[in-house]
Structure 1
Amino acid sequence: MLRKFKVSNFKSFEKGFELDLTNVNGYEFNKDSIKSGVVNNAIIYGHNGVGKSNLALAIFDIIEHLTDKQRNEAVYKNYLNAYCDPNLAYFYYEFSINSKIVVYEYKKSDYKTIVYERFQIDDEELVLFDRTKTSNATISFKGAETLKTDIENNQLSILKYIKNNTELVHNDVNTTFQAFFTFIEQMLYFRSLLNSTTHLGFDIDGKNILEDIAKKKNTKNFETFLNQAGIECKLSEVEELGRKTIAFNLNGEDLPFYEVASTGTIALSLFYFWYQDFKENSKVSFLFIDEFDAFYHHSLSSLIVEKLKETGVQFVLTTHNTAIMTNDLLRPDCYFEMTKNRISSLSKSTQKELREAHDLEKMYKAGSFDIE
């Protein structure tokens, strides 16, 4: 699980910005939204332009140099903050993996160039590579004693280099190191806006959404899902250019899905496409959906959150929809208010003792959680 994340000198984040998912309260309701003292289900609010989307890009920057997953360089334009000094973006991650605290921090001078890396497990520093001071990395993994430490390629992560070039001794530390990589490789970000979608992390391998749903024999389940979402419909599987896909069946006539579907229904099809994987296969380790309900009615937004909670996956969602800011769905330490300079849960943004009966939306609109 992701426990904490810090970033500075990246895009809109000039100074240190921290998301702390460990700062929880002892509420006796919606306990399933907290796992091992860490927020498992988080929803972020904030005015337009405060950096919610940039926070997602910052968290998923790690994908670029630790995995071979699909990259989207376009979303990482204007990488460094315009006012940053020195000209280095800084990232800090703290994870809970195999019941151990894993810390990874690094600095970059641009999207690809890595200047500094440090990695530790349970306070034991295992890797340190400061390219501003030396061309040699300090590596303390058992089994990596003979590994070359002089790495000239400043676009190659020292962690990825270790993973790909050593047969590490089998012990708890090295097993956790491998599990750390598995976690990173299974992180997923996606966003659906008008005429465009963005995805980072977890591979889709060029899959077609409807073809993939049909191939996995989930067409009937997808139909049920759409009906639960308030979209009364019947779906059919049809052949198109020699491939099986999905159509709406209206009065016995099959009509192409995307020609009939509303914008909200198209967004739901994208959500369901990913939902298959983290519901049935538990392949996704961490999920971030930006503006997750941009095209949804508030009741549908609540349904999506409930569906995500059922999967058990750790997720962070951004939204402007205050109708779902309710203790019936999550709890005050799972809702976060974000400004340009900080982010804090509702429970940490007021001196009032919040209870299950409190109307969080009404308090939010009245300014009870203004943190700046």
Structure 2
Amino acid sequence: MLTRFEVANFKNFDKKITLDLTDTNMYLFNKDCVKEGVVNKALVYGHNGVGKSNLGFAIFDIISHLTDKNSAAECYKNYLNISNDSDIAEFVFTFQFDGNEVTYSYGKTDLETLVYEEIMINGNVYASIDRRESSEAIINAIGAESLRSDLGESKISLVSYIKKNSVLEDNCENLCFFKFVEFVNGMLFFRSLDSNRYIGFQQGSRSLGKDIIENGNVKHFEKFLNRVGIECRLSTIETSEQIDLAFDFNGKKVSFFEIASQGTKSLALFYYWYQRLKGDSKVTFLFVDEFDAFYHHALSSAVVELIRDIDAQSVITTHNTSIMSNELLRPDCYFLMYPNKISSLTNNTSKELREAHNIEKMYKAGAFSG
């Protein structure tokens, strides 16, 4: 699991900003929202322009150099903070795997150009390189002794270099290394504000309707929409070019995406990814940006409940205070984002928060001013 993330000099983040998912409390309700002392389901609130989307882009910057998954390079223009004099954006990830701690830190000048990297496992340097000083890497992985340590002019990530070119021994440190790589490969970011733009987990893109039809999910999608409050009947319609998803009005069919509301289209996008999140999913970490931008508040609650049921550690950004409720999550899982900090509701008040508290009402009354 991701336990802590830090970033500085990236997009609107001039100074270091930290998301700490280990600062939890001993609440006796909604215990499934915290796993092994780490927030497993988080909702992040913040005013427009504070950097909620950029937080997601910062966390998923790691995808571009550690995986071959979709990296959405168009989201990484204006990479460095314009007010900062440094020419390097810096990132620090801390993970926990079976009680072991993995810390991965790196700096970049842009999405593709790594300057330095260091991976530490339980406080010990596993591998590191600082290309500002030398092309020579330090590699302490058992089983990688025969690897050439001088990477020369290569831009490859040191992590990827070790993974692809060595047969590592079966020990605790190497197992942590592989779990770290596996976790990153399972990360998924998507947003509902535009087309099916995503980062991580897979490559390429598919038509939402085509995916639903080809996987035999037309009636399942219909039931999904009905479940979240959208009464409709779905079918398919044949056009001159293909078979499309359609609304069925007593035998009269109309193409789904021609008349669906923006909110319903957004639900189709959520459904597309939800099918990849259910059951024995390989998704390890989910970040959904402005997930309910087009939803009614009752629908937003239903979607949060669906996300609560998946295994993946999840972070969601929203403006919707109607889902700020102890019935859905708990105070240490709701985060308030400001230009220079991110902290939970629990840490933004001196009051003892209890299950019976109406935290939305308290928020609107200014109780969480920090």
Q: TM over 0.5, yes or no?
A: yes
Find the counterpart in structure 2 of residue 141 from structure 1: 141
Moved more, 209-218 or 37-46: 209-218
Q: Distance in 2 between matches of 1:221 and 1:298?
A: 23
Q: Which amino acid aligns with 2:208?
A: I
Q: Where does residue 306 of structure 1 map in the other structure?
A: 305
Code of the residue aligned with 2:308 in structure 1: it is K
Task: Give the deviation of 1:5 after TM superposition.
Answer: 0.1
Aligned letter for 1:223? E
* Range with greater deviation from structure 2 (234-243 or 202-211): 234-243
After TM superposition, give the deviation of residue 260 of structure 1 in Å: 2.0
Which residue does 1:87 correspond to in 2? 87
1:174-189 → structure 2 map (5 Å cutoff): 174-189=174-189
Deviation of 1:221 (Å): 1.6
1:253 is matched by which residue type in structure 2?
K
Aligned pairs for 1:1-372 (under 5 A) are 1-153=1-153, 155-193=155-193, 196-240=195-239, 244-371=243-370
Greater mean alpha carbon deviation, residues 347-356 or residues 129-138: 129-138
Contact kept, 8 Å, 1:115 with 1:154, in 2: the verdict is: no
Q: Secondary structure at the match of 1:333?
A: helix
Following the alignment from structure 2 to structure 1, what is the Cα–Cα distance between the partners of residues 203 and 217? 17
Structure 2: runs of 5 or more not aligned: none
Whether the 8 Å contact between 1:246 and 1:257 is mirrored in structure 2 is: yes
Which 10-residue stretch deviates more, 125-134 or 343-352? 125-134
TM-score normalised by length of structure 2: 0.96
CA distance in 2, matches of 1:317, 1:93: 18
Structure-2 separation of matches of 1:148 and 1:245 = 53
Residue 239 of structure 1 deviates from its aligned partner by 4.3
Q: Which amino acid aligns with 1:9?
A: N
What do residues 244-291 of structure 1 show as CA deviations (whole Å, max 9, x unaligned)? 542111111221110121100000000000000111341211111111
The residue type paired with residue 74 of structure 1 is E
Which has the larger displacement, 33-42 or 103-112? 103-112
Contact 1:211 1:243 in 2 (8 A): no
Q: Shift in Å at residue 97 of structure 1? A: 2.3
Q: How many Å apart are 1:240 and its aligned residue? A: 4.9
Q: Which amino acid aligns with 2:273?
A: W
CA distance change for structure 1 residues 26 and 259 in 2, over 3 Å: closer, same or farther? same
Check conservation: 1:90, 1:108, Cα contact below 8 A. yes
Q: In the superposition, relative to structure 1, how do residues 207 and 99 fare at CA in structure 2: closer, same or farther (>3 Å)?
A: farther
- Contact 1:291–1:318 (8 Å) recurs in 2: yes
Q: Counterpart amino acid of 1:286?
A: F
Give how far 1:141 is off: 0.7
CA distance in 2, matches of 1:51, 1:305: 21
1:320 and 1:21 mapped to 2: Cα distance? 20
Find the aligned partners of 1:367 and 1:105 in 2 and give their Cα distance: 36
> For 1:90 and 1:314, how far apart are their aligned partners in 2?
23
Instruction: Name the TM-score, length of structure 1 as normaliser.
Output: 0.96
Partner amino acid, structure 1, of 2:249: L
What is the one-letter code of the residue matched to 2:110? D
8 Å CA contact retained: 1:65, 1:155: no
Q: Name the SS of the counterpart of 2:5 in structure 1.
A: strand
- The one-letter code matched in structure 1 to 2:260 is A
Q: Percent identity?
A: 52
Structure 1 stretches lacking a partner, 5+ long = none
Q: Report SS of the residue matched to 2:264.
A: helix
Task: Give the drift of 1:196.
Answer: 3.4
Greater CA drift, 199-208 or 12-21: 199-208
Relative to structure 2, which stretch is displaced further, 145-154 or 339-348?
145-154
Query: Equivalents in 2 of 1:186, 1:241: separation in Å?
Result: 38
Greater shift after overlay, 172-181 or 342-351? 172-181
- Asked if structure 1 preserves the Cα contact closer than 8 Å seen for 2:80 and 2:87, the reply is yes
Amino acid at match of 2:94: E
